Every structure is written in C-alpha cells, then in structure tokens.
C-alpha cells in the first residue's frame, strides 16, 4: 500500500498533525494489521513522542475508529454529491474515489473488525448505505431490500481492486469497473424478498477430536478474531484440555492454516468435478459458480477468515494460499475465455476477481446472506459480472 503521508521533521508542529497521525495510522494498520501496530509505531511514523498522540486520541481503539472513518469519508462524499437519479454520475464519482483511495479497501474490510460491532457496522457500511439511498431515489427508484443488495455488490466490485491488483492502465481500470458497476445496477434479478432467517438444527460437534477442535477454532476465529481467542478457549468449547490440544495442533496459527487450506481444497475439488462432468466450458463455469456459492453460504466463516485473519498464518502457508487463490482465478478466467472467446485475458481476470469479491461481501453480511433465494440471486450476479455483456444471451 502506498504511503499516505510524509512524516514531518522531528520537533516541528504542523497544523495538520491530527490528519497526519490518522493517515499514518491507517497506512500502518492496513500494512501490518491492527494488533501488530502500537501507538509507539504510529508516533514514530509522524516523528513525535507517543505522549503527543494521546493529546489527540485516548487510545489505539479510538485511533482505529477515526482512521477508518476518515479514509471512508471521501468515498461517502462522492456518493452523496452525485445528483439523485443520475446513476452514471454515481458510478463515475464512486469509481474515481475508490480508485484514488484503493489501498484503503483492506483497512475498511479487514481492520474494521477490531471495532465494536455497532461502530464497525455504522462506519464500514456507511458508503454502501449511501449508495443504497441513491438507488432508492429518482424515477427508477428501487425497493429498499433490492437497493441494499445492489449497493453492496456495486461497492464490492469496485473495492475488489484493493485486494487483487491488476495490470490494466488507470483509464482502462476505471472504464471496466464502471461497466461492471452498471451491470450490477441494471441487470435483471429475481425478486429480492425480505430476510428469512431460520435457526438451524442443533448439531453435535464432530466425534473426531481433531475435527472438533478445528470446527471450534473456525467458529471462534470468525466471531472474535484470531488474537482474541486462546487455545484454552478453543479446547474449552469442546471439552478438551491443553495437553489434548497439542496432540493435534501445535498452535493457533496451525489451526487457522488448516481451515484455510480446507476451504481452498473444497473449491479445487468442485472445480475438478465440474471440468470432468460438464458438457462444455460454459456448463462447467455455471457448475463452479453454483458450488462455490453454495459452499460459501453454508460455511460463511471460511470467507470471514480469508478476509480478516489470513495474515496470521505462517509466511510459507500464506504464500501457498495466495498462489492457490491466484491459480483458481486463472482457471476460472480461462473457462470464461474458452466459453466466450475474444475478451482480453486481464479484463476477464478483473471480472472474475470482482465476481468472487461480490460473493464474499454478500455472504459475510448476515442480513443479505439471509435473503430468500440468495443462492440463485448470487449466481445471476456473479454470472453477469464474469461474462462479457455481448454473450449474456448465450447463458439461458
């Protein structure tokens, strides 16, 4: 991520010191992760003593809250200032703001989880609700539930570049993201009905001790975050004491890596099965999308871990996981090109990354995940994003 500011010379008192602190904090939180950054680190980045930070911020938690809010504010303003009913201007303004602040997408989506839930939802969802409000205005106003879903998907399309850099020029990137955002707004979707959340059956934990521990770790890491969970917490969840845990896992990081590898292998197995059983590339692509979405909806914790906790796995495992993710995107993109040739390879990769990020964003948002028929809706959205518009008619 690019540096947001240049530290002033030590001993000077710039008038914008508070803004410099927020910019430096945002940069450090996004690069290293909130738990790994101290107030001393932030103070060093702006060439002041730690005590000077406390004159502006009571503690690190408040600093994170204000850093996330400050970095989202230009994006929110770009939406608010777009004229009601002018979707073209909305897409243009939002796209430019997100690309200008592209490095901060990781901060908004990953590090905001360290904020209290109510604060996190208010700040990190502010831009999406602002988009939804615009979609509910004008002559072609959408119902609230549909506007919310399309707003989350539109934002996810554009912020996907924060997580997945590409090789397009800035102008081409802006053009393609705008096209995909309009696709999300304009494409026909099944009726969006109110959430229909039902409590699932109370299932017993796996009988295998290793599986029971892994299931407990996945639940707790997704709910509370890796740093807030101890091995004793995980063991207590399934009635296993400390020594019993070490027969199966050496530490928490090994548990997290095992969970992420498992999710990766499920996707690869589904992709392999689709390639071997489908009649052609288009049918294989549809099967892959369907199985990917089905797994994500049934196990949303895996997506949460991939977004917010992945940096805690050992470096070698992290590199393996990132390489597997890139290979998965490349294989799906190849299927798109096989089924619908003629589109630039890098453009297709941008489309695939955006579609997968839309799935992740919706699945990680409970009130969207619980929409009735969300499986079919997500399949339509992802297909519309992945497949070039000229070829949409070939999918029926």
**Same domain for 271 and 153?**
no
Please state, in angstroms and rounded to a whole number, the distance separating the CA atoms of residues 291 and 295: 6
Same domain, 270 and 134: no
Per the domain annotation, does 135 fall within a domain? yes
Q: Which CATH number fits the domain that encloses residue 367? A: 1.10.357.10
- Residue pLDDT, tens place only, 178-188: 999 999 999 99
Taking a C-beta distance cutoff of 8 angstroms, is the pair 307, 109 a contact? yes
Helix (H, G, I), strand (E, B) or coil at 195: strand
- Residue 42's Cβ-side half-sphere holds a number of Cα atoms within 13 Å equal to 34
Is the Cβ–Cβ distance between 178 and 92 less than 8 Å? yes
Mean pLDDT (whole number) for 353-362: 96
Same domain, 130 and 32: yes
Same domain, 22 and 144: yes
Q: Are residues 258 and 376 in the same domain?
A: yes
Same domain for 54 and 180, yes or no, is yes
Residues 32 and 171 in one domain: yes
Q: Does residue 104 belong to any structural domain of this protein?
A: yes
Torsion of the alpha carbons at 200, 204, 206 and 210, rounded to the nearest 10: 110
Quote the pLDDT of residue 108: 85
Q: Model's pTM, two decimal places? A: 0.88
Residue 270 is inside which H or E element, if any?
A: helix 252-277
Domain co-membership, 266 together with 156: no
Boundary of a domain, candidates 134, 157, 186: 186
Q: Does residue 177 sit in the same domain as residue 273?
A: no
Last residue in a domain, options 137, 154, 186: 186
Q: What is the pLDDT of residue 204?
A: 59
The count of domains in the chain is 2
Position 196 scores a pLDDT of 59
**pLDDT at residue 65 tops 90:** yes
Tell me the two tokens of residue 139. 């002559």
Residue 128 lies inside a defined structural domain of this protein: yes
Phi, psi of 125 (to 5 degrees): -95, 0
Q: Does the residue 207 lie in any domain? A: no
Q: Which of 140, 159, 186 is the last residue of a domain?
A: 186
Higher pLDDT, 85 or 206: 85
Any domain includes 193: no
pLDDT for 139 beyond 80? no
pLDDT on residue 197: 60
Residue 181: how many other CB atoms lie within 10 Å: 27
Whether residue 242 is contained in a domain is answered as: no
What pLDDT score was predicted for residue 56?
A: 92
| Domain limits for position 27 | 17-186
Helix or strand run (H / E) with residue 317: helix 315-339
CA atoms within 13 A on the CB side of 269: 7
Residue 218 domain-assigned (yes or no): no
Same domain, 134 and 273: no
Residues 289 and 151 in one domain: no
Distance CA 196, CA 171 (A): 42
Mean pLDDT of 286-302: 96
Same domain (yes/no): 165, 299:
no
């Amino acid at each position: 991520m690019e540096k947001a500011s240049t530290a002033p010379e030590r001993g000077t008192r710039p008038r914008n010191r508070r803004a410099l602190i927020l910019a430096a904090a945002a940069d450090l939180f996004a690069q290293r992760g909130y738990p790994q950054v101290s107030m001393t680190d932030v103070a060093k980045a702006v060439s002041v003593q730690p005590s000077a930070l406390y004159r502006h911020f009571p503690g690190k938690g408040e600093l994170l809250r204000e850093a996330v809010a400050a970095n989202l504010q230009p994006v929110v303003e770009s939406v608010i200032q777009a004229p009601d009913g002018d979707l073209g201007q909305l897409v243009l303004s939002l796209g430019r703001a997100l690309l200008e602040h592209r490095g901060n997408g990781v901060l908004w989506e990953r590090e905001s989880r360290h904020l209290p839930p109510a604060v996190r939802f208010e700040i990190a969802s502010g831009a999406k609700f602002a988009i939804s409000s615009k979609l509910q205005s004008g002559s072609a106003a959408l119902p609230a539930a549909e506007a919310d879903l399309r707003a989350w998907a539109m934002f996810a399309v554009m912020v996907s570049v924060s997580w997945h850099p590409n090789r397009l020029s800035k102008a081409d990137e802006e053009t393609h993201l705008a096209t995909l955002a309009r696709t999300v707004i304009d494409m026909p979707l099944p009726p969006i009905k109110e959430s229909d959340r039902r409590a699932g059956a109370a299932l017993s934990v796996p009988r295998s001790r290793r599986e029971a521990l892994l299931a407990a770790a996945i639940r707790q890491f997704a709910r509370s975050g890796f740093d807030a969970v101890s091995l004793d917490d995980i063991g207590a969840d399934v009635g296993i004491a400390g020594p019993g845990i070490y027969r199966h896992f050496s530490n928490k990081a090994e548990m997290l890596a095992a969970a992420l590898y498992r999710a990766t292998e499920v996707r690869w197995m589904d992709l392999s099965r689709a390639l071997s059983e489908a009649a052609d590339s288009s049918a294989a692509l549809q099967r892959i999308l369907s199985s990917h979405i089905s797994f994500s909806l049934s196990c949303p914790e895996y997506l949460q871990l991939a977004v917010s906790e992945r940096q805690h796995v050992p470096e070698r495992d992290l590199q393996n996981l990132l390489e597997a993710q890139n290979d998965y995107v490349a294989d799906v993109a190849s299927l798109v090109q096989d089924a619908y040739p003629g589109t630039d390879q890098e453009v297709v990769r941008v489309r695939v990354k955006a579609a997968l990020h839309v799935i992740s964003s919706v699945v990680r948002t409970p009130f969207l995940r619980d929409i009735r028929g969300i499986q079919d809706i997500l399949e339509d959205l992802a297909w519309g994003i992945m497949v070039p518009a000229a070829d949409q008619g070939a999918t029926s």
